[in-house]
């Protein structure tokens, strides 16, 4: 059992770190947060040139056939940079869903376009109540001859405002939950960007008489939830890698600030309470970091990771909030301001908790995995 990184993976990590440092410093992150698009198409194209958008896809579908460790390293560096982009929604949520449930024709078409950077996608799963369970899917696609018709609303759809295509999770009459490929530019679709604590591309999507050909179904009618369940562990681990990167930066920035901020005649890092804060932050980080890459290794070995993926996501939901909150306390109230970088991570910690399952959801999954 070797959790170490290969020379190529270390090169990938270093390349990603240098890319984000050069292309997207934190001032640029703040600029992108306040823009309509919420990301940089120029940076997206550069990431495609580097091959990052196709790392997870087999070569026969236009990808590079990389390991899951590769994507975890990229996501970790994205987390350190607080990098805003449709990477997670396009490559992880939709790319893995297509890879798992798409036809050969769909894989050849869609995955290749994702890898080359010409296709952005978003997963439209949640509705007003925000349930992670199949019972929360109320949107229904009625069958009319040779096509389905969608009417209803999806909420919290990440990156729908910049997407070319959506994967819509909906009922198909009595057949059950089905995944539909939908043109995001359809005139019957209205997309509204929602204000959120993370200042991200979280959207409301309204469907009105949207026609979907029968060919635009992933896998089979009524089998949609099975596909989502199969890709969920990998999605949770990928998001966890991004979160652990944010934890690391909160620690580094707090450590540097504690050494330079002088109060009552000495740096605040000399006070025991700050030292204990930093010690607990580091313990929380080290524990989750090492467990994360154990789970990443298990994925690359082809092992079942449902229980472990829920454990690492639940842990990071709590530890990212804890570490970023302590970072804010060390900086004082100024840490939440737009001038200080710690605020970027404090906001993302709370938003990330609900992506691919909050803590309560994953605690239930863990209990199920333990047959309780």
E strand or H helix that includes residue 166: strand 165-171
Q: Is the pLDDT assigned to residue 158 strictly greater than 90?
A: yes
Nearest-5° angle of CA 140, CA 96, CA 112? Answer: 105
| Residue 144 confidence (pLDDT) | 87
| Residue 11 confidence (pLDDT) | 97
Q: How confident is the model at residue 129 (pLDDT cuts 50, 70, 90)?
A: confident
**The token pair that represents 162 in the structure block:** 């910049």
Q: What is the mean pLDDT of residues 262-266?
A: 92
Chain length of the chain = 372
C-alpha distances in Å from residue 121, one per residue of 80, 98, 188, 367? 24, 11, 18, 33
Tell me the backbone φ, ψ of residue 166, rounded to 5 degrees.
Answer: -120, 145
CA 214 to mean position of chain CA atoms: 29
Q: How confident is the model at residue 173 (pLDDT cuts 50, 70, 90)?
A: confident
Q: Is the pLDDT assigned to residue 283 strictly greater than 90?
A: yes
| Residue 74 confidence (pLDDT) | 98
Q: Is the pLDDT assigned to residue 2 strictly greater than 70?
A: no
pLDDT digits 0-9 by tens, 67-120? 999 999 999 999 999 999 999 999 999 999 999 999 999 999 999 999 999 999
| Residue 245 confidence (pLDDT) | 98
Strand partners, 143: 148
Q: Is the pLDDT assigned to residue 370 strictly greater than 80?
A: yes
Which domains occur in the chain, in start order?
Answer: 7-120 (1.10.540.10), 123-220 (2.40.110.10), 225-369 (1.20.140.10)
Q: What is the DSSP string of 178-234?
A: EEEEEETT-TTEEEEEPP-TT---EEEEEEEEEEEEGGGEESSTT-HHHHHHHHHHH
**SS3 readout for 119-135:** CCEEEECCCCCCCCCHH
Max CA separation in the chain (angstroms): 79
C-alpha distances in Å from residue 164, one per residue of 122, 161, 320, 325? 8, 9, 32, 36
Q: Is the pLDDT assigned to residue 198 strictly greater than 90?
A: no
- Over the chain, what is the mean pLDDT? 95
Nearest to 133 by CA among 229, 216, 48, 220: 229
| Residue 281 confidence (pLDDT) | 98
Q: What is the mean pLDDT of residues 222-250?
A: 97
Show Cβ contacts of residue 284 under 8 Å, excluding neighbours closer than 6 positions. Answer: 247, 319, 322, 323
Distance of alpha carbon 158 from alpha carbon 225, whole angstroms: 19
| Residue 3 confidence (pLDDT) | 67
Task: Look at the block and give the residue holding tokens 């509705």.
Answer: 127
Nearest to 336 by CA among 350, 322, 346, 351: 346
CB 298 within 8 A of CB 357: no
Q: How confident is the model at residue 299 (pLDDT cuts 50, 70, 90)?
A: very high
Q: Is the pLDDT assigned to residue 159 strictly greater than 90?
A: yes
Task: Look at the block and give the residue holding tokens 């869609």.
Answer: 110
Burial of 364 from C-beta contacts in 10 A (0-12 / 13-18 / 19+): middle
Q: Which of 1-10, 71-80, 151-160 has the lowest mean pLDDT?
A: 1-10
DSSP tally for the chain: helices H, then strands E: 13, 10
Q: What is the mean pLDDT of residues 332-345?
A: 87
Q: Is the pLDDT assigned to residue 213 strictly greater than 80?
A: yes
| Residue 1 confidence (pLDDT) | 62
CB 232 within 8 A of CB 97: no
CB 312 within 8 A of CB 203: no
Q: Please state, for a pLDDT cut of 90, what percent of the chain lies above it.
A: 90
Q: What is the DSSP string of 244-282?
A: HHHHHHHHHHHHHHHHH-EETTEEGGGSHHHHHHHHHHH
Parallel, antiparallel, or unpaired: how do β-strands 266-267 and 217-218 relate? unpaired
Burial of 186 from C-beta contacts in 10 A (0-12 / 13-18 / 19+): middle
CB 341 within 8 A of CB 250: no
> Given 3-state DSSP classes, what are the helix, strand and coil percentages for the chain, each rounded to the nearest 5?
60, 15, 25
**The token pair that represents 40 in the structure block:** 């940089």
Q: How confident is the model at residue 277 (pLDDT cuts 50, 70, 90)?
A: very high
Q: What is the mean pLDDT of residues 316-329?
A: 97
């Amino acid at each position: 059992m070797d959790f170490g990184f290969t020379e190529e993976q270390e090169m990938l990590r270093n390349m990603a770190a240098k890319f984000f440092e050069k292309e997207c410093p934190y001032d640029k992150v703040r600029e992108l947060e306040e823009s309509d698009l919420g990301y940089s198409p120029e940076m997206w194209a550069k990431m495609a040139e580097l091959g990052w958008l196709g790392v997870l896809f087999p070569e026969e579908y236009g990808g590079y056939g990389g390991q899951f460790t590769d994507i975890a390293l990229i996501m970790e560096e994205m987390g350190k940079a607080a990098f805003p982009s449709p990477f997670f929604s396009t490559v992880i949520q939709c790319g893995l869903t297509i890879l798992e449930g798409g036809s050969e024709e769909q894989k050849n078409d869609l995955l290749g376009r994702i890898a080359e950077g010409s296709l952005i996608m978003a997963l439209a799963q949640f509705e007003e109540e925000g349930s992670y369970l199949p019972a929360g899917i109320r949107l229904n696609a009625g069958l009319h001859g040779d096509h389905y018709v969608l009417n209803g609303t999806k909420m919290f759809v990440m990156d729908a405002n910049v997407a070319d295509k959506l994967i819509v999770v909906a009922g198909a009459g009595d057949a059950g939950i089905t995944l539909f490929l939908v043109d995001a530019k359809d005139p019957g679709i209205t997309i509204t960007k929602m204000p959120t604590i993370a200042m991200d591309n979280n959207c409301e999507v309204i469907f009105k008489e949207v026609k979907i050909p029968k060919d635009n179904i992933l896998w089979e009618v009524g089998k949609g939830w099975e596909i989502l369940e199969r890709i969920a562990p990998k999605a949770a681990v990928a998001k966890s890698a991004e979160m652990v990167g944010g934890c690391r930066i909160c620690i580094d920035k707090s450590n540097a600030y504690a050494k330079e901020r002088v109060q009552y005649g000495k740096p605040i890092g000399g006070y025991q309470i700050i030292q204990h804060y930093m010690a607990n932050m580091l313990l929380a980080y080290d524990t989750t970091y090492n467990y994360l890459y154990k789970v990443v290794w298990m994925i690359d070995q082809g092992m079942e990771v449902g229980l472990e993926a829920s454990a690492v996501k639940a842990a990071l939901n709590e530890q990212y909030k804890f570490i970023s909150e302590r970072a804010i306390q060390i900086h004082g109230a100024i840490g939440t301001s737009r001038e200080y970088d710690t605020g970027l991570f404090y906001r993302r910690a709370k938003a990330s908790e609900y992506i691919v399952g909050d803590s309560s959801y994953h605690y239930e999954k863990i209990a199920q995995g333990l047959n309780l």
